[in-house]
Amino acid sequence: MPLLPSMTFCRVLLAAAGLGTLFLAARADENEVVVISPHWQGIRDETSRAFSAWHQQHYGKPATIRWRDVGGTSQIIRFLRSEYQASPSSGVDVLYGGGVDPYHDLKTDGLLTRYDPPTEILAQIPAELHGVALYDPDHEWFGTSLSGFGIVINQRAREAARLSDVQTWTDLADPRLAGWVSGCDPRSSGSVLAIDEIILQAYGWDKGWAVLMAMSGNVRNFLSSAAAATVEVGLGDAAYGVSIDIYGQAQVGYYGAENVRFVLPEGQTVITPDSIGILKNPPHAELARHLVEFVLSRDNQLLWMKPKGSPGGATRNIVNRMSVYPALYDELAGVTPILDNPFHTRSDLVYSGALAAKRRAILSAVIAASMIDTHDLLVRAWTALHSPAMQRLSPERQQALLADYASPPCSAEELLRLSDTIWKDPLQHTALVERWQSQALDRYRRLLQEIASN
């Protein structure tokens, strides 16, 4: 049965007149703040409950959150840009979650609104951590918690299949792990794209690309969300997956540390803020400011750090997250399930957020064209490269074929040039992606043919 076709038709007409999103905003409850977010349901539920209680206590009146769900971070950004092209307001008050890169993009587009939190709250949060800003100097976005990027491991599945332990990104490139790695499309997940970027910066463009190619050869399938990939590991359908800590730690909390582990590759990852920002022309501006105030407040920071079921902690869901308040790590030592203090760690990786932001969109496209949309043939080529037939070739030829498989379609410098030129033209943009995909397929077929002929 069709879902409210008349309402859909009405909205199309109103949007055409530039009034659609304003109409929807007006119909929202005056005590609701509309939030768009990639966060999983557990965080949404705990945030809704805690915010409502906090708002009643601090402002003496009720307030609730109405969550909008349009997919992962990349889909959210596309949705917001589309809405703002059609109307002065998107009908959404706040973007919550998705890391930090989307906020750089939205700020550049002029789609965020400045908010100055109470001085006593902002005083608790350092301006930066290891060179990474924890909030925007113009107060258009704020880090609400800290996120690390690492590897989630199902210990039982790994041991049952007699697979090796992993500690680094390159460990996931071991061909003996083929079919045991769960993946996610970086076009759908900002956190997975961030991990790809970290790997490329940790090892350099050429070696980092080779690591991603080898990991892709081991991936059993690329799912449409990072959360789904970690769930697949938790269930034991896969033994390994790359993950932001929030998803990895959720699996550890659910299945127990003896069954599932989450590791941060030492010296090869970064700690970044997971952020919040008020969008341009928010329909409920006052409540939007109140929500940001709450999320940055001590009450919400304790919600992240305290164990589920403890006073001030989560009530029904495990939402273990690293606070942006350095003081809480010592204050809650021995109580919090968060064992690592990010303010006491060091990293050998010199990470460029500016580089990541500049090539964000084009990087997800070149990865998809080379590794995801061509994955079936890629896996066949990867398997052939480690088959008995490969061993009949000379060592020199084996090395040449492995290097051919792992070679990037362009240099890092060329990718940036393309990002500033061809990528900005929709027609040339599409042709470029098609060329990358065609070149990848030709390479995999060529490798398969040569190996099979020996």
- State the residue for tokens 């081991």: 218
Nearest to 374 by CA among 386, 385, 365: 365
Q: Do both 27 and 140 map to the same domain?
A: yes
Domain-embedded: residue 296: yes
Conformation bin of residue 110: beta by default, left when phi > 0, alpha when psi is -120 to 50: left
- The residue out of 281, 312, 344 marking a domain boundary is 344
Looking at the chain, the number of H-run helices and the number of E-run strands are: 21, 12
Which pLDDT score is estimated for 451?
96
Q: Please name which of 238, 225, 306, 296 lies closest in space to residue 39, comparing C-alpha atoms.
A: 225
Boundary-marking domain end, from 344, 379, 400:
344
Q: Can you spell out the DSSP letters for 287-345? A: HHHHHHHHHHSHHHHHHHHSPTTSTTS-SSS----B-S-THHHHHTTTT-S----GGG-
What is the reported pLDDT for 378?
Answer: 98
10/141 same-domain check: yes
pLDDT of residue 116: 98
Residues listed for the chain = 454
pLDDT reported for residue 10: 38
Q: Is 59 a domain residue? A: yes
Please state, in angstroms and rounded to a whole number, the distance separating the CA atoms of residues 267 and 229.
24
**Structural domain of residue 363, as residue ranges?**
359-454
Task: Mark whether 282 and 418 lie in a shared domain.
Answer: no
Question: What CATH code is carried by the domain that includes residue 27?
Answer: 3.40.190.10
- In a domain, residue 151? The reply is no
**Domain shared by 337 and 398, yes or no:** no
Query: Same domain, yes or no, for 11 and 137?
Result: yes
Tell me if 69 is assigned to some domain.
yes
Do 83 and 24 sit in the same domain of this protein? yes
- Would you tell me how many other CB atoms lie within 10 Å of the CB of residue 16? 10
The per-residue pLDDT for 217 is 98
Residue 392 located in a structural domain: yes
> Residues in the chain with pLDDT < 70?
1-28
Q: Helical H runs in 87-173?
A: 101-108, 119-122, 155-160
Q: What are phi and psi of 325, to 5 degrees?
A: -95, 105
Output the pLDDT for position 6: 38
Integer Rg of the chain from CA: 23
Asked if residue 336 lies in contact with residue 322, where contact means CB atoms within 8 angstroms, the answer is no
Residues 421 and 390 occupy one common structural domain: yes
Whether residue 280 sits in one domain with residue 411: no
Q: Return the pLDDT at 18.
A: 39
Residue-level pLDDT at 4: 35
Decide if 51 is inside a domain: yes
Q: What is the mean pLDDT of the chain?
A: 91
On whether residue 295 sits in a domain, the answer given is yes
Longest CA–CA span in the chain (Å) reads 78
pLDDT of amino acid 71: 86
How many structural domains compose the chain?
A: 2
User: Which helix H or strand E contains 108, and what residues bound it?
Assistant: helix 101-108
Clarify whether residues 332 and 437 are in a common domain.
Answer: no
Which of residues 319, 344, 369 is at a domain's end? 344
Do 317 and 372 belong to one domain? no
Q: Are residues 375 and 454 in the same domain?
A: yes
| pLDDT at res. 85 | 96
How does DSSP classify residue 371? I
- Residue 301: CB atoms within 10 A of its CB come to 25
- Is 263 inside any structural domain? no
pLDDT of residue 11: 38
**Is the domain of 317 the same as that of 434?**
no
pLDDT value for 266: 82
Three-class secondary structure of residue 394 per DSSP:
coil
